[in-house]
Chains A and B, each alone.
Chain A
Amino acid sequence: MRGLLMMTALAVLPLGVAAQTPATGATPELPDPQRALLPQMVIPRPAEWGDALPTVPEGFTVTAIATGLKIPRQTLVLPNGDILVAEGKGQGAPALRPKDVIAGFIKALGKSPEPGGNRLTLLRDADGDGTYEMQGVFAEGLNSPYGLALIDGGLFVANQDAVVRFDYTDGQTQASGPPVTLTDLPKAINHHWTKAMTASADGRFLYVGIGSNSNITERGMEAEEDRAMVWQIDARTGMHRPYATGLRNPTALTIQPDTGQLWAVVNERDEIGPDLVPDYLAAVQEGGFYGWPYSYWGQTVDPRAQPQDPDKVAAAIVPDYALGAHVAALGVAFSDPVMGEDFAEGVFVGMHGSWNRNPPVGYKVVFVPFRDGRPAGEAVDFMTGFLVDEDNTRGRPVGVTLDPRGALIVADDLSNTIWRVAPAR
């Protein structure tokens, strides 16, 4: 009887009040789509860190190892322990509609006013004490660099328009010359401009994530050619092919140690409610189609995409693990026992944070535990304290990278900081 009363009470609550945090996990609950006349926009404004630091689990320390950067996005830990930081901002897709003009202005309120650096910064901690005493420019004049990968002697950078290659020898602090273009990438409009990248375990291939050119085809179906997919690129010749498609915005890619499996975090579509559609973590299957734009989370049709394609919908793969709607996952990295018992097996996910949900979500780094190589159990907070309250945030996490010496490197593109979270020794 009491249970029945509770259910009735829940049923009369207005939509959106009952659910404070969006559904996560392997089988998230998907509410019915809803869209008010005015889309919800909640943009926490930038706040200063002052003496405050992000919150990390008991037994961990957190330090800012680099500040004053120019929109740091993704990082790469080099074999000698140096850290490369890709800094860039994208040029912004043109406003097509009255709405784009207004929404662009509002979203800019939650971003750093710093123009992107279009460069790679190198950080060095020569004595291994956790303080990065050297900070210098490795290369500049790049075009919104984002994805980074090292394949013996070749440093690959995914600019927003091309994959380029620098020669790299251990200990180098500056590029020895301008990079060589390996292959051009789809760059028209570049609504989602970030080009995530990782290298296969054997070093033969690069995988590059190419986001869609719209939220849900509002720039036209033609604009989506070669978009919303992961490319496999031969690292030697630059030959490429679509590896998996229907991934709306694959913002970070990584290879699973031991198995060599490619994993991605993907940002899903907006404007059908505060709890739709979950951003997700997926083991990217070769030749797989993941639904965008026709459907989400497998076969849930999105009628905003017209004309529909029932065959594609039927073929859509259900992703592995929901990270929550609108969290904006932009970083993913596999952990290692060096991060301590509680975080030995699983992935860290950097969440940039929402702009269209009340209350805001994301704005943190979480840990998704794995068992037998698969996600298992609830994600736990690993790094929080970015959001001061619903109206202010000190930072926005982007890329996360494991330093095999025992630390997680987190890029923060609002406070323009690189954070290092390490087990206390």
Chain B
Amino acid sequence: MASLSSPRSSLAPARPLHPLHAILLAFLFPLFLGTLASDLAYARTFQIQWANFAQWLNAGGLLLGGFALLWSLVGLIRHRGGDRRRLVHALLLLAAWVLGLVNALVHAKDAWAMMPEGLWLSAIAAVLALLASWTGYLGFREWA
């Protein structure tokens, strides 16, 4: 036990994210959640405008979430060997973003051709974005 906990004991308490990083990370989950909600509305009504909303919300998530992802990846490299949570957060964020990209291509299919794959992808991407945000906002510890 001691050998497992000893490296952690030399880590300082978690520090919150840099404000700009936090602002950038704030976009992904709500936008992906909006994508999912719009997909659900399209699936229920066949009203194409919901599919259009979904595509722009997803594209917005990719653009702004992309900056947050870059920040997280750079942080991962700068603090190599640091807090394990940094890696978990970056991987979750990467997974959410890549799924969002695939989802954008699926959503680009015309009309109902995006169903049901688009709906499933939106759901999984939203969950991943939630987990990535959660792990990110817990903050990262650094070597004391």
| B46 close to A306 (CB less than 8 A) | yes
A214, A220, A304, A307: which contacts B113 (Cβ < 8 A)? A304
| Contact present for A97 and B108 (CB under 8 Å) | yes
Residues of A close to B46: CB separation below 8 A: 221, 306-307
With A38-B105, A219-B48: A97-B55 Cβ-Cβ less than 8 Å: yes
Residues of B within 8 A of A303 (CB): 112-113
Please state if A99 and B112 are interface contacts (CB–CB under 8 Å): no
Contact partner, B56, options A38, A97, A304, Cβ 8 Å:
A97
Cross-interface CB contact of A96 among B47, B52, B104, B105, cutoff 8 Å: B52
Please judge, given known A-B contacts A271-B113, A304-B112, whether A99 and B102 are in contact too, CB under 8 Å.
Answer: no
Contact A97 B113 (CB under 8 A): no
A99 to B52, CA, bound (A): 10
Contact A306 B55, CB 8 Å, known A37-B106, A220-B48: no
The listed residue with most B CB atoms (<10 A of its CB), out of A37, A98, A304, A305, is: A98
User: Which are the 10 A-B pairs with shortest beta-carbon distances?
Assistant: A220-B48, A218-B110, A99-B108, A306-B112, A218-B111, A304-B113, A304-B111, A98-B59, A37-B105, A304-B112
B84 at the interface (CB under 8 A from A): no
Query: Cβ of B110 and Cβ of A215 under 8 Å apart?
Result: yes
A204 at the interface (CB under 8 A from B): no
**Of B48, B56, B59, B105, which one neighbours A218 at CB under 8 angstroms?**
B48
Q: What is the total number of residues of chain A having a CB less than 8 Å from a CB of chain B?
A: 22
Q: Does residue A253 face the partner (Cβ distance < 8 Å to B)?
A: no
Decide if B111 touches A216 in the complex (CB within 8 Å). Answer: yes
- Docked pose: A329 CA to B52 CA in angstroms: 30
Query: Are A98's CB and B112's CB within 8 A?
Result: no
Bound complex: CA A221 to CA B102 (Å): 27
- The count of residues in chain B whose C-beta lies closer than 8 Å to any C-beta of chain A is 19
Q: Which residues of B contact A241 (CB under 8 A)?
A: none
Given contacts A214-B110, A218-B110, contact A99 B48 (CB under 8 A): no
Closest to A217 in B: B111
Residues of B within 8 A of A305 (CB): 111-112
A217 in contact with B48 given A37-B102, A97-B108 (CB within 8 Å): yes
Closest chain B residue to A101 by CB distance?
B59
Per-position binary interface string of chain B over residues 4-36, scored 1 when its CB falls under 8 Å from any chain A CB and 0 otherwise:
000000000000000000000000000000000
- For residue B80, CB closer than 8 A to chain A, the reply is no
- Give the CA-CA distance A271 to B113 in the complex, in Å: 10
Any B CB within 8 A of the CB of A35:
yes
* 25 pairs, A vs B, C-beta closer than 8 Å: A35-B109, A37-B105, A37-B106, A96-B52, A97-B56, A98-B55, A98-B59, A98-B108, A99-B55, A216-B111, A217-B48, A217-B111, A218-B48, A219-B48, A220-B47, A220-B49, A271-B109, A271-B113, A303-B113, A304-B109, A304-B110, A304-B112, A305-B112, A306-B112, A307-B46
A35 to B108, CA, bound (A): 11
Contacting residues, chain A, for B55 (C-beta < 8 A): 97-99
